[in-house]
Chains A and B, each alone.
Chain A
Amino acid sequence: MSFPPEKLAEFEFLYGLYADKLYRIALSNLQHREDASDIVHDVFIKYLNTAPVFKDAKHQEGWFVTVTVNACRDLLKKKAHRNYTPIEEVHNLKAEEKEERDIVSFLSQLPEKYREVIVLHYLEDYSVTETAKLLKISQSAVKMRLSRGRELLKNIMKGNSND
């Protein structure tokens, strides 16, 4: 049966809109490119299978981000079954990959709950309110984690610059 071109184009547009963002979020949480790719792939296939209905563009974006974050959490719980290859150990990196390694390396040293809020608020530019909604936690919890996460990240970066 032929595939309707308008549906394919619509899906491709959605992919173009969200893929990079979701990949960044997944990579920040997992520090593993293949895992991050798998997560993004699974999120888009889930979108196809569940065909959720959205109130508006913000609702749609929130759905994609939340599903990605949740998928990352689930995978982190099962991480033991995988042979983990941290990005830092990959040799012969191209320039842009090295930069990727720096930021991801810093974030990888943060506990998961601080990393999530740091990534969404400081790097993906979501407000505290939006971050709270995406992670389904209170705004006060977001603020607390941001504060604690900032402190930890400062120490990590200071430690790295001393190396």
Chain B
Amino acid sequence: MIDENLKNQYKSIKAPESLKARVMADCENAQVQKSKKPAYKYIQVIAACLVACLCIGFVGMGMVSSTVYLNGEIYMGEEIALEQNVPSPAMQRAIVNGGQVIEIDAKLETKISISAGEFTLLDSETGEMIYSGNEYSVKGKVIVQVSLKDGENAELQLQNILSSRTISLENSN
């Protein structure tokens, strides 16, 4: 049916030379156009990186704008179980009934509030009482002593311009 002669005829068909010239010319144009893109793409990438850095910066600043310490250790959790008479080795002055020693290092003006019960703020350096109640704005290092009734739970909220953090206080008494 399709003999070798016919097949050879078919195989002898070649693309015209003019086609090659046309394709190679368009290839060069296409390549030049493609190379125009990277500069714009790089600008987009750099802009995205800058935005990401700024976001990370803001988030990071938010995270460190007020650091919570629990018994001398940085505390990142969302819940604190309150126990009676927990001594803080470094803060002998801070032992009170019904409260666990919480220290806050507020690098920015930070509003401290509690949803139930009350708290007392003490100066970390001197131990002097700064405030007693349920809402206060403070900057610097303070010790927070929380007082809750038996069975009463609360939320301690720390708010500043960069961040907001809520710590649930579970009363184990």
Contact = CB atoms under 8 A, between A and B. Distances in A.
A54 interface: no
A102 interface: yes
Main secondary structure on A side of the interface with B: helix
Question: What range describes how many residues of B lie at the interface?
Answer: 20 to 34
B43 interface: no
A122 interface: yes
A19 B20 contact: yes
A33 B6 CA distance: 19
A133 B58 CA distance: 55
A3 B31 contact: yes
A118 B1 CA distance: 11
Contacts of B15: 19-20, 22-23, 37, 40
Interface in A4-35: 4, 7-8, 11-12, 15, 19-20, 22-24, 27-28, 33
B90 interface: no
A103 B6 contact: yes
B13 A20 contact: yes
22 contacts: A3-B28, A3-B32, A8-B24, A11-B24, A15-B24, A22-B15, A24-B11, A24-B13, A37-B18, A41-B23, A44-B23, A44-B27, A45-B26, A48-B30, A48-B31, A100-B12, A106-B6, A118-B2, A123-B2, A123-B7, A123-B11, A150-B1
